Amino acid sequence: MPARRFGVSLAALLAVLAVATACGSSAPSVSSTAPPASLPPDAKSPPAGLAANLDKLKSYRFSEIIYSALPAEPVASAGASAAAASNAGASLSASAGSASPGPATAGASATIGTSATASASATASGSAGASASASASSTRASPSAPLASSPPSPAVAAGSLRIEGTMVNLGGRSIRISIGAVQYVVVGQSGWTTVDGEVWAPLDNVADVTDLLPAAYYGTWFEPHVSGFGAVGDETRNDVACTHYSGSESLGNLYASMTGGTFQAELWVARNGAFPVGGRYLVPQAGSPSGYTFEITNVDDPTNVVTAPSNVVPLSS
């Protein structure tokens, strides 16, 4: 009996998300300047390179939403189901809709309210003609609410993608990421993937998992524009003492030709540790916004644990 793969190709997923982040920046920005260990009290704009400070935390949890202005692929009915794909070259079936700027659809949708409900659908297929599909629904408490004076984040548009996970930096990097029913786990140099949470298969390229982390998307959406943010005041977000920065009018003018809503750019930075705690960068487009939001929670919480799965099925040689 051949080895069976339960999972979705990261390369295919990242190809979809590369289109999804097209309007954030022409390319991810990586600062060559070492970020400060603490946020300067007189910092009128966020210092460069803050995402690197996330790697200095012992651990944290995160949630991200990539907003799409494109129509969603049909999502399977609630519940979860999966069939195995018999080839290691499984690929994600997702439609980018068009090459226009803004997040592409990956067959996922979610709604934010007092709680956030997400549903996602992914399809993997192998050359042998076998296919795997998964659909799942989960409910999660929403992150800390924004200031009453700030426009609320809109409900997640159809076609947008929610990413949730745990990052542990102690004793070597360990990561768990969930995108609907699809999960990725990395412990050290080894990685695994599953679509049912029970049977796992080795991950082809462990390094690709880091492209789904908040640090990577911060480099696309926020890092190129930090000079366009101004300090609003000190606040607490996700139980972390922060300075709140808001996008300036000049930053909003970059998107003045776009219609369909209000440009939103908000960023919260920890005063101690100078790491990004939460933010939104939402560009108006007809029908729904394009952009990105993230929340960093449970910082250095000892319950943040990532372990290797035990039920791993080896790939066919």
pLDDT (tens place) for every residue of the chain, 317 residues total: 333 344 456 666 666 566 555 554 445 555 556 788 899 888 899 999 999 999 999 999 999 999 874 433 322 222 333 333 323 233 332 322 322 233 332 333 332 222 233 333 333 333 333 333 333 333 223 333 333 333 344 445 556 889 999 999 988 899 999 998 999 999 999 999 999 989 999 998 898 899 999 999 999 999 999 999 999 999 999 999 999 999 998 898 888 887 667 889 999 999 999 999 999 999 887 767 789 999 999 999 999 999 999 999 987 65
Q: 260-298: string of b/e by CB count within 10 Å (b at 16+)?
A: ebebbbbbbbbbebbbbbbbbbbbbbeebbbbbbbbbbe
pTM over 0.75: no
Q: Which residues, 6+ apart, have CB-to-CB distance to 207 below 8 Å?
A: none
- Phi-psi category of residue 123: left, alpha or beta, with phi > 0 → left and psi -120 to 50 → alpha: beta
Q: 144-158: string of b/e by CB count within 10 Å (b at 16+)?
A: bebeeeeeebbebbb
Domain spans in the chain, listed from the N-terminal domain onward = 10-297
Is residue 107 within 8 A of residue 82, CB to CB? The reply is: no
Is residue 227 within 8 A of residue 210, CB to CB? The reply is: no
For residue 9, count other CB atoms closer than 10 A to its CB.
23
